[in-house]
A and B are shown apart, each in its own frame.
Chain A
């Protein structure tokens, strides 16, 4: 049994490397004059992607066998699954449109998501009674598939924006585009910082008053922001530069706040370094490499992904969720934050579709909406889980 668990995690590592190498091959297709997706690099790229996907399916089912419940029940498992579905969505879109450039952007996003997932506790966790329902798995997996397909619309939208936005002058568009790129760097920063201090086994203990009681709070990153009124217990650990504000209560609020600061700062360092080396906006450097792609087609891929993803998202994140909630808590809707944010996501994409269909929002406007939709999905996945804890809050 312990054996299955380690086979499973090795398969996950393997799939990670497949995706990484596949990304390089898709990168190689950029230099092809054609963009038909029939070249050698393209074939190798998609084959490696499929191999990685199958390997990751291997991870999924061996872990299922080991835990005896579908591995979508904590933050690590769910986020990994989301990354896997993103790859699947890309494979589907690839075979419709044969656009290598989608792979070049979608795979790194999937890699980041899977790496991000691994920063959370990876052991197999027991299920509390309300989670013991088939509807839970059906709900969670369908919702993840829907979100993953919608994420492809973000990837295409991003490509569209990088290709189309006028980089010769500074504008709101260039600013926000750089901001999106900075957010990606911050995610990378979070992964690097967490892995580094994790490898060093860094620990800092605090004693801090929580709900009127002195409680031990443990940090795994050096405390830039310590717990409010906390006292450092570990000798040799870094003294916090300042305390988290008073309203951040709860055992892990300050620690999460500290992690957020680390992510944003390390993102700033990475992004700053990139700007120093490139001496241009990051998007301006990528732009010329995308000139050969037909923006109309990229725009259509983005819209197509929404029109495929929206019904699946509705089914998984709303309808199946309601069926499960009806079973588990005898109310199909409870206005808990996670539910509300699923509703907001859904309303947002309905808004997108209406604008596109009836008010003719195409091209740049539509691409920004695709980026915005993905931001909401990520907010629901990360912020609502970590900050606004609700019934669904894993981990």
Chain B
């Protein structure tokens, strides 16, 4: 490595633009920061030697230089920004009505534009490979870019001397020459009063405050990186589980993704609405709205743990570990898992009872039977010796072009095709029965099935979550916040004073908030005989 020795005696690494100690511009390296003779010095990284500006020989250098460029970083950000906005033109797949087929939904709803949207994969934009690649590239760029700058910047800030080369002062944005006597001691006292650290080297003065704020961007970038790593960890199943379970009232269901370790019972599902008569606060708003407004969704749940997990195939033995009223915003938590109130179905049919009687005479009853809709038996033996066999079961029946079909497996509108075997053992008759209907396809049936009654119950939908990545996200977010506040709410201000033959020179630099720096200077030179320095970079108005 070629070292560069400055006339002040300090040895600088190759690629240095301004001597780390005295700030003298180093001949031959001024193009790196775009410094021109007699123009203001670029002080962004103190003129320190950055790897990206120094080496460009092999492929590693080239990759490094690519990712450490802020121009590239800014492009990555803007591309991600535009891409994100594209994803909001039409709803993402997870927000389209449940059960609809995205392949047809987008075209049906939004026409050709919708079709293109779907075909380009924008309906799932945020999980496409290229979108994640963009985020990953931002991450890489963040890391490289930060390392490229923070190391030399740290070096330069540690090495700086109060005694500066005169061109360094002269080419600062805030600079002033004073001819005549100056009360330097008063100046120093006033600076200290404003919480500056003051160094004096043979009458050369450096006053500095807020240097730590220079690390703000690097701290916030570290926070971002931790956050992005946390997001990456979500792809590990041991770190992150997102599942879902429907539980009917009275039922106990195994909690999915727990290897059969945990069970949850739904004792009661409660839906409450705002009552305009009871709550006069909201009367007007509720009256203006045609539909009722929910005030509470709640599952009274019991959580069990299986105690004989080691016995394969045995009936589970359950031990109650928690009773919990799960409401929105208040999940049940156990062993890293959380159950959230997430969905519901009201009044799902749970059982239907039928009476079999002669078609012409309702009082000639051959027997009654009840079908458990969640787990129907296939065959029912009646007292009279008649048999009823379920041929087909449609939990949520609808007619699809003259074909009976089921929309879902949830018994919201149950219907059956029954075979009825008469007591005497003759040929079966076909009967189609559901809620409010009973169809005899042949019109010759001797026996008829009539609905005798039904039971309903509510179903609760619980989201099952385990998320060990949250601490990463939280820590990342916190570090990011600390970093931005550190970099934004404090500024790194420096004021130099140099004794001259006929007076003093003073110069000032800050990384932001020049107004604040100038105020500080004005206060500290008050009645010291030092003239107010000029801002050499005023926008021409």
Contacts and interface: CB of A to CB of B under 8 A. Distances in A.
Interface of A: 1-2, 66-68, 97, 121, 123-130, 132-133, 163-164, 247, 249, 291, 294-297, 299-300, 303-304, 307-308, 310-311, 314-315, 318-319, 322, 326-332, 334-337, 340-341, 343-344, 347-348, 350-351, 354-355, 357-359, 362-363, 384, 388, 390
Nearest to A160: B539
Given A303-B512, A335-B92, A129 B294 contact: yes
Nearest to B78: A351
B515 A97 contact: yes
A341 B111 contact: no
B85 A344 contact: yes
B340 interface: yes
Interface stretch (B276-284, B422-430, B521-529): B276-284
Nearest to A330: B340
B539 A299 contact: yes
A127 B465 CA distance: 25
Interface in B161-210: none
B81 A335 contact: no
Given A123-B288, A314-B484, A340-B87, 4 more contacts: A128-B293, A295-B539, A330-B340, A332-B470
Interface string B358-377: 00000000000000000000
Contact of A328 (B94, B295, B329, B470): B329
Contacts of B70: 354, 358-359
Interface of B: 44, 70-71, 73-74, 77-78, 80-81, 84-85, 87-89, 91-92, 94-95, 109-111, 126, 242, 274, 279-282, 284-286, 288, 293-297, 327-329, 331, 338, 340, 342, 463, 465, 470, 473, 477, 480-481, 484-485, 488-489, 512-515, 535, 538-539, 541
A328 B328 contact: yes
B88 A68 contact: no
Q: What secondary structure prevails in chain A residues at the interface with B? A: helix
Contact of B285 (A121, A335, A358): A121
Contact of A308 (B465, B470, B488, B514): B488
Contacts of A354: 70, 73-74, 77
A126 B488 contact: no
A299 B488 CA distance: 16
A125 B111 contact: no
Nearest to A359: B70
A335 B94 CA distance: 9
Contacts of B280: 1-2
B339 to A, nearest CB: 9
Given A129-B296, A295-B539, A295-B541, A68 B281 contact: yes
Nearest to B342: A330
B82 to A, nearest CB: 9
B489 A126 contact: no
Nearest to B124: A335
Contacts of A126: 274, 279, 281-282, 285-286, 293, 295
